[in-house]
Amino acid sequence: MTAISEQMWELDTVEGVRDFLSSLPDNHIRLQNFIGNDFAQHSDPDNWIESFNPRTGNLLAKVPQSNASDVSRAVEAASQAFPSWSKTSRQERSDILLRIAAIIHEKKEVFAVWESLDQGKTLARARVEVERAISNFRYFATYILHEEGSARFVDGQISTLTYEHRSPVGVFALISPWNMPLYLLTWKIAPCIAFGCTGVAKPSEVTSVTAFCKELFIQIQVKSTHSSLVLGEVFRQAKLPAGVMNLIFGDGPGAGSTLVRSPLVRGVSFTGGIRTGITIRRDTVEDIGKHLSLELGGKNPTLVFDDVDLDQAIPIAAQAAFENSGQICLCGSRIYVHRAIYDRFVSAFVDYVKKNYRCGETVGPVVSLAHYDKIRSYLLQAQSEKATFLTGEIPVEIPTGGYWIEPTVLGDLGTESIVMREEIFGPVVTIAPFDTEHEAIRLANDNPNGLASILLTRDGSRMRRVGEQIDAGLVWVNCWLVRELGTAFGGMKASGTGREGGAHSRDVFTNLRTLHIR
């Protein structure tokens, strides 16, 4: 590595990165694709996507707008790497995954700082997500060493030994959104390579920096072709064979769609919005054998029953609403409270939010100007429907100095309001009363989405009775965002198709055949 790239690889404080960026003439970085373990200039060097720092609104990075030939080169690299990678032993794959985990662990502050800068999340939140990225690799590294299978002896006219055998599917497209860039991309990359597949990962064009392999500045380009950083560099240092995992940058309708439709791509693991999920399903419908896992959006209910201890319930409901500025698919963005405690809950909840969720301290900006505008449009809609702004206000139309939106609690909206029904994906939560348990379940389920839900109650029988009736892939009772990586993750209804986690990820990345041996 050159002196400058070494400096970047060591940049583990916000101040350090800020000074570094301001020392550059253009104050921004340029990303490059990572194909076959090499950092590659994209084919059309005049075509970039601009990515802005959410805290300031200033240009942070230029992201390659990869075209069909870039995508094709990445898919080809993955395709060539597949025959030998798919035959490596579990132990060998496990060792490499553990090395990747160890390197990210060693560099975790570097990842956290870039993740926070790129997405706008607080450093505390970024640190949690980097830890989870490390766990993703550790979990699948050990899972594959302890896989269980089944074999049976079948006696009949012909006696057979019958057993199930799995083999890796092939090349995967791994496509992730912008809200938890490293955490979600590694949730796909780790099982993909653990189960013997190879892949092309495409992070969101809005947040690409932590997946970036080589920070190449105009000046540095002249001086060096070896500066490298972050995930691509981790793969190289971990000695992941060339082509096993490739990273390309670009937008969805261009690079993403080309990748998904490639006939060499035998599976797609996608996390993102529902509309994109529908497009991907449509784009792959003719290729019937292509594996498809779709993790989509949510509009998740938080149900607060009248037996709760408010001191315990309120922090959970508030965290579920406002963590990462409400930009987590699992956020509880519509709170329903039993009428018997409604007034007390609302008053204490609002006090708690005002005290604990403060922009610039515990709350970051939202990710981009386009997203700011989208959230603002829902707040204007709420205003036009005469919602009560219990906290927050309509943000300015043209923000200067970053994309900041106050944590907003909205009351007095009708259940048919689009503000109550559609995913806003920002620091906005609605709050409404219910009278009976039956009504609470009905309100929770009266939505096209079915990703997650939160139940706050001390009644043990209600936990099961209500929990088992909620149409949501994940139900948290008196907690939120707790995950055991072996359990199923995914949504019902419009929130997705398929599950990932443990054996469910194995289903995504392997083909299953049953052998009958006489």
Q: Binding marks (x or -) toward ligand NAD, 426..465, rule CB under 6 A?
A: -------------------------x--------------
How far is residue 50's CA from residue 65's CA, in Å, rounded to a whole number?
10
Strand partners, 267: 172, 291
How far is residue 444's CA from residue 428's CA, in Å, rounded to a whole number?
17
Tokens of 92: 């060998």
Q: What angle do CA 370, 376, 379 make, to 5 degrees?
A: 155
- Write the DSSP string, 396-441: PSS-SSS-----EEEES--TT-HHHHS---SSEEEEEEESSHHHHH
Q: Of 4-12, 43-51, 146-154, 172-180, which segment contacts ligand NAD by CB under 6 A?
A: 172-180
Residue written as token pair 């490059």: 32
Q: How far is the CB of 411 from ligand NAD (least distance, A)?
A: 24
Among residues 12, 38, 109, 251, which is the contact residue for ligand NAD, using CB under 6 A?
251
Decide if 223 contacts 92 (C-beta within 8 A).
no
Among residues 229, 230, 248, 280, which is the contact residue for ligand NAD, using CB under 6 A?
280
Instruction: Indicate if 479 belongs to the active site.
Output: no
Among residues 271, 408, 430, 457, which is the contact residue for ligand NAD, using CB under 6 A?
271
Residue closer to ligand NAD by CB (options 196, 250) is: 250
Q: How far is the CB of 423 from ligand NAD (least distance, A)?
A: 5
Q: Does 329 bind ligand NAD (CB under 6 A)?
A: yes
Among residues 76, 205, 233, 406, which is the contact residue for ligand NAD, using CB under 6 A?
205
The residue with its CB nearest to ligand NAD is 252
Half-sphere exposure of residue 408: CA atoms within 13 angstroms, side-chain side? 25
Q: Does 256 bind ligand NAD (CB under 6 A)?
A: yes
How far is residue 296's CA from residue 450's CA, in Å, rounded to a whole number?
10
Residue closer to ligand NAD by CB (options 5, 257) is: 257
Helix axes 108-119, 14-22, angle to 10 degrees: 60
Residue closer to ligand NAD by CB (options 14, 488) is: 488
- Pairing type for strands 428-434 and 408-411 reads parallel
Residue written as token pair 């012909």: 158
Decide if 2 contacts 224 (C-beta within 8 A).
yes
Q: Which of 105, 110, 107 is closest to 135 using CA atoms?
A: 105
Among residues 69, 159, 253, 458, which is the contact residue for ligand NAD, using CB under 6 A?
253
Instruction: Indicate if 295 belongs to the active site.
Output: yes
Q: Who contacts 162 (Cβ-Cβ below 8 Å, separation ≥6)?
A: 151, 152, 153, 154, 514, 515, 516, 517
Q: Of 33-41, 151-159, 170-178, 238-246, which segment contacts ligand NAD by CB under 6 A?
A: 170-178
Q: How far is the CB of 66 from ligand NAD (least distance, A)?
A: 11
Among residues 276, 293, 302, 510, which is the contact residue for ligand NAD, using CB under 6 A?
276
Q: Does 51 bind ligand NAD (CB under 6 A)?
A: no
Q: Does 498 bind ligand NAD (CB under 6 A)?
A: no
Q: Choose, from 329, 331, 406, 423, the residue flagged as catalytic.
A: 329
The catalytic residues are 295, 329
Question: Rule CB under 6 A: which residues touch ligand NAD?
Answer: 175-179, 184, 202, 204-205, 251-253, 256-257, 260, 271-273, 276, 279-280, 295-298, 329, 423, 425, 451, 491, 496
